[in-house]
């Protein structure tokens, strides 16, 4: 018997859960399907949110030939063979065959280059799926020929809807009396991932010997502790382990951080994925408390590219230990978030006249830049003047954290004198 996640895989948008911003009434992908005109695009989102399912629904609804490749197992030879097969399956007046590439971020440059001509000429309609930012992982010529659509983690409401759908409609679960008493653990361990939720239900079902299948927090937690990898796609808790890795660095535990790094290395994790998370951690969690952390993390990222594997594990380990033992500050992270919230609240406030550019005589006559004071003309290269819009001129967005580096920055800031 197939796993529950496969038994319940939707075949139409009517029973597809989540992503209403893409498939709801009037949304872009629904309109694309209803019009019958499909252009190449990339679906970007975390695991278990419906990327593969959505591609299959599009092909099935429009009755288009559907080819699939996995970037993990396919090389340039396999790409060219599939494209040639798709060309032979193409016919006049119809939508081009769909080529679905899972984990397209793992494709090398040469593999991606081999797709360009087929996508450009319309021999295939490319649908890519990725958990990584396509801006970093997909070559620019290919990215320019594809729209990028972002899929979000499923909300608790989406997950509960899916749970009830499984209980009421699955061929096995509907034959069993199911009592839903608590869902907090089920939702927490699922983490917005439909596949995880269904795998957990499968696990509880298979472990139930009574006539009644009970869903409550203690049962879910117990089953997962006994089968810690049962609900993970690849048998290695990809997102849980990277979460533990980053939290260990944030918590200044270098031993734990190195352990989770080793788990990822042993599990075959993409080294660029690890390196990118180190760069993020250096910016978000160490920040201004030790600005050199970002330089070292970025150097580790470059070193991984130059050294390859397995030597690349060494600069990753070096950066991990350095970041874990660095002082921590998220003041810059909080500052930009606070500023973004203010922009959302107050909208597009006008730039003060004295800060505006005045490239034409008319603009100069209107006062653009007229009273601007050039700081380098003043002692210590500073003179007080207003830089924020009038409505928020007294707001402060950056607040120093308690560390020596930011104490020095704050002392040297002439605004504080």
**pTM listed for this prediction:** 0.58
| CA–CA dist 261, 243 (Å, integer) | 11
Separation of alpha carbons 166 and 203, rounded Å = 13
Angstrom distance (rounded) from CA 130 to CA 113: 17
CB 281 within 8 A of CB 290: no
Looking at every residue in the chain, the average pLDDT score rounds to: 83
Q: Is the Cα torsion angle 354, 357, 361, 363 positive or negative in sign?
A: negative
- The rounded radius of gyration (Å) of the Cα atoms in the chain is 27
Tokens of 395: 């707001």
Q: Which residues of the chain have pLDDT under 70?
A: 1, 71-73, 90-95, 226-238, 359, 361-367, 414-417
Give the domains, in start order, of the chain with CATH numbers.
19-150 (3.40.50.300), 156-226 (1.10.8.60), 238-324 (1.20.272.10), 347-416 (1.10.3710)
E strands in 157-238: 177-180, 212-215
pLDDT given for residue 150 in this prediction: 92
Percent helix / strand / coil, the chain, rounded to 5? 55, 10, 35
pLDDT at 236: 43
Q: Which of 335, 336, 366, 362 is nearest to 350 (CA)?
A: 366
In this prediction, residue 299 carries a pLDDT of: 94
The pLDDT value recorded for residue 233 is 43
- CB 324, CB 261: distance < 8 Å: no
Measured distance CA(41)–CA(87) in Å, rounded: 19
d(CA 133, CA 154): 19
Angle of helix 271-281 versus helix 292-307 axis, rounded to 10: 170
Contact predicate 149/58, CB 8 Å: no
């Amino acid at each position: 018997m197939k796993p529950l996640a496969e038994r319940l895989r939707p075949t139409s948008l009517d029973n597809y859960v989540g992503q209403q911003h893409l498939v709801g009434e009037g949304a872009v992908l629904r309109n694309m399907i209803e019009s019958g005109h499909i252009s190449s695009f990339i679906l970007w989102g975390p695991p278990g949110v419906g990327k593969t399912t959505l591609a299959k629904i599009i092909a099935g609804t429009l009755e288009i030939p559907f080819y699939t490749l996995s970037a993990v197992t396919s090389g340039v030879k396999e790409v060219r063979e599939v494209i040639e097969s798709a060309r032979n399956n193409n016919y006049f007046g119809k939508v081009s065959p769909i080529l679905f590439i899972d984990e397209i971020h793992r494709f090398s440059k040469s593999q991606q280059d081999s797709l360009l001509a087929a996508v450009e000429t319309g021999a295939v309609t490319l649908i890519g799926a990725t958990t990584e930012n396509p801006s970093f992982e997909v070559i620019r010529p290919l990215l320019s020929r594809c729209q990028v659509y972002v899929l979000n983690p499923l909300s608790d409401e989406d997950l509960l809807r899916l749970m009830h759908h499984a209980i009421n409609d699955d061929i096995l679960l509907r034959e069993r009396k199911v009592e839903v008493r608590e869902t907090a653990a089920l939702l927490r361990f699922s983490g917005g991932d439909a596949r995880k939720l269904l795998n957990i239900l499968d696990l509880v079902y298979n472990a139930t010997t009574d006539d009644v299948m009970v869903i409550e927090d203690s049962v879910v937690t117990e089953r997962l502790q006994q089968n810690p990898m049962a609900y993970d796609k690849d048998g290695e808790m990809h997102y849980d382990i990277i979460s533990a890795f980053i939290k260990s660095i944030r918590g200044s535990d270098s031993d734990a951080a190195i352990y989770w790094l080793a788990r990822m290395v042993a599990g075959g994790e993409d080294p660029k994925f690890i390196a990118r998370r180190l760069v993020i951690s250096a910016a978000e969690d160490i920040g201004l408390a030790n600005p050199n952390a970002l330089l070292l993390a970025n150097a580790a990222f470059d070193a991984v590219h130059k050294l390859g594997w397995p030597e690349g594990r060494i600069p990753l380990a070096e950066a991990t230990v350095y970041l874990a033992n660095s002082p921590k500050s998220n003041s810059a992270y909080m500052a930009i978030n606070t500023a973004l919230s203010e922009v959302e609240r107050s909208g597009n406030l006008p730039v003060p006249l004295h800060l505006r550019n005045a490239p034409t005589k008319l603009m100069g006559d209107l006062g653009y830049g007229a009273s601007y004071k050039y700081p380098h003309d003043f002692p210590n290269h500073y003179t007080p003047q207003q830089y924020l819009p009038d409505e928020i001129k007294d707001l402060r967005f950056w607040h120093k954290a308690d560390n020596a580096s930011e104490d020095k920055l704050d002392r040297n800031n002439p605004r504080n004198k």
